[in-house]
Chain A
Amino acid sequence: MVSIRAENLSLTYRLRQKLTLAPRDKRMPTGGRIVGKGRTRFVTALDGVSFELKAGDRLGLVGPNGAGKTTLLKVLYGVFEPTSGSVEINGRVDALFNIRLGFRPEATGRRNIVLRGLINGWSEQEIEARMEEIIEFSELGDFIDLPFKSYSQGMAARLAFSVATSLEPEILLMDEWIGAGDPAFQEKAKKRMAERAEKAGIIVLASHNHALLKKTCNKMLELEKGSATFFGMLGEFFDGKGCKT
């Protein structure tokens, strides 16, 4: 049974002053809470977040920039390890954070599909089986055998989107909606995403687009400075019980 259970999830990391001979990097992280002074400063990116999702749930993740939305998605995906608390995930997780990640400009579109497939852990048979469908969906035609660097931005985005959404995960994590290609392709992309949402057991979608969240989700989790300020049904959130953003 597909499910996600996060209990008292916290993520704190040390803001390291890199050992460098150059002037200090004054950049600060964009989110979370900073505690401590001087060389021992810590960022609390998530603080005691708890929620539970079961098959069929579509969770909308909202909050201002730096609230911890992407951090939470990355904890659920396994990029970050929580400092305390627990996260229990049943089901195959896939994520769409950066759809252009890993494309090689010198390789052809076809070769890039193979490489992305390998990175995603697909077998050769799976890559072979998905190849034509990906090429067809991307509408790249003969361009698929030209180097990726020769693609227009729209073409590149179409290929990236087609590869990224060709899999059918049980749990799908998405950071913002993906706008790819021209209006006609965007329509097609929205339809594909709706289909994927239908098939995936659980979706967690971080977005600032309330209209999209109302259309896609049934539950909402609002984060602020790493803490959950609301978790409940979508209706309750937009009826004013939780909505602050």
Chain B
Amino acid sequence: MFATIKIALKDIHAGLRMRRVWIALAHEDIGDQHRRTALGPLWLLINYLAFAGTFIFVFQRGASIPNYEAYVATGLLVWFYIMETISQSVSLFVREESFIKGTTLPLSVYVMRLATQSVIRAGYAFIGCLAILVISGTSLTVMWAWSALAIVLILATAPAAIILFAFLGAYFPDSQFIVSNLTRIGMFLTPVFWAYTGGGGVRSTFYYSNPFTYFLEIVRIPILSGDVPVRSFILCGAITASLWAVALLLLGRLRKQVVFVL
């Protein structure tokens, strides 16, 4: 097992050394996706604001949630990042088939390329999120540092999740559609725009048994209520560690095998 992890770490180390490649390719990806549009990547910001606006003004589900605008803004920022990263990951190795079969680039180059692309895309949503926080009068406190730490934790989890879902998509092609559907439904099953205020029932189950809830909470709670959600931080840390353990094993074991299933 240690040998497997060592192989995976070697791949990651080699991938990190090629950061010029994945940063350049990630920028190209973003540019290509919006090349012939008048507003370019600003559509990412508009898309985010459209969703946030719909939840805040149309759904108006937040009568019982204090500072509902900030609640939705922070929830959507995290959810969009998670959803996009996961849904792009399942087809990653399939999309990169010709590269994987024709070059000796470490697999982590493709992983980091997608991770960087997701961060750039989330950057536009982040601007929208900050704007909503300012407009809604959310005051900047030192507790925001915990939210920043939470974002770092989420970013650190992303490459592990990408590795896991990329192998899943390569070995189980149907998972692309299953994951795509689940992420769409997940938006409604995760407390992005609704909150659990007690009373049990189905909502309680979806709130507490959904791992995404905790990733939303660690970013959201320090900003909204000035508390540190210690339990959620511990849970997220455990999820991140578990994901990395599985990802390293998969990468070490299947790094040179995946080429045969593409």
What is the interface of chain A, defined by CB distance below 8 A to chain B?
13-14, 16, 18-22, 74, 77-81, 97-98, 101-102, 104, 106-107, 111, 114-115, 118-119, 121
**Complex interface bits, B250-262 against A, C-beta within 8 A gives 1, otherwise 0:** 0000001101110
Interface of chain B, helix or strand or loop or mixed?
helix
Partner of B259, one of A22, A79, A97: A79
When chains A and B are docked, how far (Å) is the Cα of A79 from the Cα of B25? 21
- Asked if A118 and B21 sit within 8 Å, CB to CB, the answer is yes
Known: A18-B261, A19-B174, A79-B259. Contact between A119 and B28, CB under 8 A? no
Among B96-104, B131-139, B239-247, the stretch in contact with A: B96-104
Whether A106 lies near B101 (C-beta < 8 A) is: no
Q: Is B35 interfacial (CB 8 A cutoff)?
A: yes
CB neighbours of A22 from chain B (8 A): 173-174
* A98 and B102 form a contact (CB under 8 A): yes
**Does A106 lie within 8 Å of B103, measured CB to CB?**
no
Which residues of chain B (86-111) have a CB below 8 Å from chain A?
A: 98-105
Which A residue sits closest to B261, measured CB to CB?
A: A16
> Are the C-beta atoms of B171 and A16 separated by less than 8 Å?
yes
Query: Distance in Å from the Cβ of B260 to the closest Cβ of chain A?
Result: 5
Q: Is the CB of B25 within 8 A of A115?
A: yes
Place the interface of chain B in its size category: 20 to 34
Instruction: Determine if A106 and B173 form an interchain contact, defined as CB atoms under 8 angstroms apart.
Output: no
Q: In the bound complex, what is the Cα–Cα distance between A121 and B20 (angstroms)? A: 10
- The answer, yes or no, to whether B211 is at the interface (CB within 8 Å) is no
Q: What are the residues of chain A within 8 A of B259 when measuring CB–CB?
A: 79-80
* CB-CB under 8 A for A104 and B102, given A16-B171, A18-B171: no
B232 nearest CB across to chain A (Å): 34
In the bound complex, CA of A34 to CA of B32 (Å): 42
Contacts of A79 in B (CB 8 A): 100-104, 259
Q: Which residues of A contact B103 (CB under 8 A)?
A: 79, 101-102, 119
Taking the closest CB of chain A, its distance from the CB of B97, in whole angstroms, is 11
CB distance from A189 to the nearest CB of B (A): 20
| Pairwise interchain contact A118-B24, C-beta atoms closer than 8 A | yes
Contact B172 A119, beta carbon cutoff 8 Å = no
Interface residues of B in 1-28 (CB under 8 A from A): 18, 20-21, 24-25, 28
A102→B24 contact, CB < 8 A: no
Q: Which 8 A-B pairs have the closest CB atoms?
A: A19-B172, A81-B256, A78-B104, A13-B260, A118-B21, A101-B102, A106-B32, A98-B102
Q: Assuming A79-B102, A98-B98, what are 16 further A-B pairs, CB within 8 angstroms?
A: A16-B171, A16-B260, A19-B172, A20-B173, A20-B174, A22-B174, A77-B104, A79-B100, A79-B101, A79-B259, A101-B98, A102-B99, A106-B31, A106-B35, A118-B18, A119-B105
Residues of B within 8 A of A19 (CB): 171-172, 174
How far in angstroms is the closest Cβ of chain B from A121?
8
Contacts of A106 in B (CB 8 A): 28, 31-32, 35
Q: Are B173 and A115 in contact (CB under 8 A)?
A: no
Q: How far is the CA of A118 from the CA of B26 in the complex (A)?
A: 13
In whole Å, how far is A25's beta carbon from the nearest beta carbon of chain B? Answer: 9
- Inside 8 A of A101's CB, which chain B residues have their CB? 98-99, 102-103
Determine the residue in chain A with the shortest Cβ distance to B170: A18
A18 B98 Cβ-Cβ under 8 A: no
- Kindly list chain B residues whose C-beta atoms are within 8 Å of the C-beta of A81: 256
A32 to chain B, nearest CB (A): 11
Among B98, B172, B260, the most chain A Cβ lie within 10 Å of the Cβ of B260
Between-chain CB contacts (< 8 Å), 25 pairs: A13-B257, A16-B171, A18-B172, A18-B173, A19-B171, A19-B172, A21-B174, A22-B173, A22-B174, A74-B101, A77-B104, A78-B104, A79-B100, A98-B98, A98-B102, A101-B102, A101-B103, A102-B98, A104-B32, A107-B28, A111-B28, A115-B24, A115-B25, A115-B28, A119-B21
Question: In whole angstroms, how far apart are the Cα atoms of A135 and B126 in the complex?
Answer: 41
